Amino acid sequence: MLPIDYLRSYSGKNVFIKLKDGSEYLGKLKIIDPSMNIVLSEAKEVTDTNKVLAILGDIFIRGSNLLFISIEPDKVTFFEPEQPKQPETLQGQNAPTDDE
């Protein structure tokens, strides 16, 4: 089975979609074409904590904007991005000393 056929088998079911610009949508998969263009019905724009920003109804999403699709949106885990690590202090024989 091709991936597009697999996704089409979820027509009428809820999906979670994240776009390359970071926006996220929940809705029922209505149409998906070979270019991965998608129509969602009962669509909602949500935040990364699953808070609803807007209730949109039917929307069209251009396939080239897709980052990923989850066919089981209730299993999508939202988590905070990792904080950058602080640089470690230099230790050992190459570390500068207070004498320098």
User: pLDDT of the chain along its 100 residues, tens only?
Assistant: 888 899 999 999 999 999 999 999 999 999 999 999 999 999 999 987 878 999 999 999 999 999 999 987 776 555 555 556 666 655 555 556 666 5
- At the topology level of CATH, where does 3-74 sit? SH3 type barrels. (2.30.30)
pLDDT of 48: 79
**Residue 2: per-residue pLDDT:** 86
Number of helical (H) and strand (E) elements in the chain, helices listed first? 1, 5
pTM metric for this prediction: 0.70
Q: Where are the domains of the chain?
A: 3-74
Write the CB contacts of 16 (distance below 8 Å, at least 6 apart in sequence). 24, 25, 26, 69, 70, 73, 76
- pLDDT for 92 equals 56
pLDDT score recorded for residue 42: 94
**57, 44 in Cβ contact below 8 A?**
no
pLDDT, residue 45, reads 95
